[in-house]
Chain A
Amino acid sequence: NAGVTQTPKFQVLKTGQSMTLQCAQDMNHNSMYWYRQDPGMGLRLIYYSASEGTTDKGEVPNGYNVSRLNKREFSLRLESAAPSQTSVYFCASSAQGTAPYEQYFGPGTRLTVT
């Protein structure tokens, strides 16, 4: 199992450009998440998808859109990148249910917006 994979690993954008960050998991998990991490800070939730076909806003959704393409894939789109979106982006997935469960994280995408 590859677990959670993210592409690209690094990206540099100019202000106003758009891009899509890709995430895929092979653990048959129902729930997927996108976080951002700024230097010296903890992770903050951007969007999440509790199950295929649903998406919800997290703590910091402004400037982002998401698509749950199927059960495996959850993409994050920046329509018009801004320097404030320079960050490391992590995707995660988890099982879903009434029992406690852990989240599995991908390796991250390091994005710089100039």
Chain B
Amino acid sequence: DAKTTQPPSMDCAEGRAANLPCNHSTISGNEYVYWYRQIHSQGPQYIIHGLKNNETNEMASLIITEDRKSSTLILPHATLRDTAVYYCIVRVAGGGSQGNLIFGKGTKLSVKP
């Protein structure tokens, strides 16, 4: 499994964009980049995923570099409710053990008023 590296913590001012980096330099061609977040004491929540192209949904944008060795999750207008631990995970599509999520320690994002 490709491993990911994330900063342990980041701060962001409320209303500003939060840019969360992730390094996955050993990613394979068939592995997707997934982002989940975990708000205190709750179960993790899926945010977004991508393979090669940049992706956007109602929650966030995902920017993947051309060589796919790193990515950035962007929360365009962070609110206090976005304070959470954000996990970057790479894995193949499909089922079986290769498709299982492997969580690291993630990035603790603190959004401040």
Contact = CB atoms under 8 A, between A and B. Distances in A.
B93 A43 contact: no
A97 B43 contact: no
B57 to A, nearest CB: 11
Interface stretch (B19-27, B68-76, B96-104): B96-104
B38 to A, nearest CB: 8
Given A42-B105, A58-B100, A103-B101, A96 B95 contact: yes
A98 B102 CA distance: 19
A99 B87 CA distance: 21
A45 interface: yes
B93 A98 contact: yes
Question: Which among A31, A42, A50, A51 has the highest number of chain B CB atoms within 10 Å?
Answer: A42
Provide the main secondary structure of the chain B interface: loop
A105 B101 CA distance: 12
Interface residues on A, range: 20 to 34
Contacts of A108: 41-43
A90 B44 contact: yes
A103 B41 contact: no
A53 interface: no
Nearest to A104: B46
Nearest to B48: A102
B45 A56 contact: no
A41 interface: yes
Interface string A6-48: 0000000000000000000000001101010000111111001
Closest 7 CB pairs of A and B: A105-B43, A42-B103, A102-B46, A100-B93, A43-B103, A96-B95, A98-B94
Interface of B: 32, 34, 41-46, 49, 51, 87, 93-97, 100-106
22 contacts: A30-B95, A31-B95, A35-B103, A42-B103, A42-B105, A44-B103, A45-B102, A50-B96, A59-B102, A90-B44, A96-B94, A97-B94, A98-B94, A99-B94, A100-B49, A100-B93, A102-B49, A103-B44, A105-B45, A106-B43, A107-B42, A108-B41
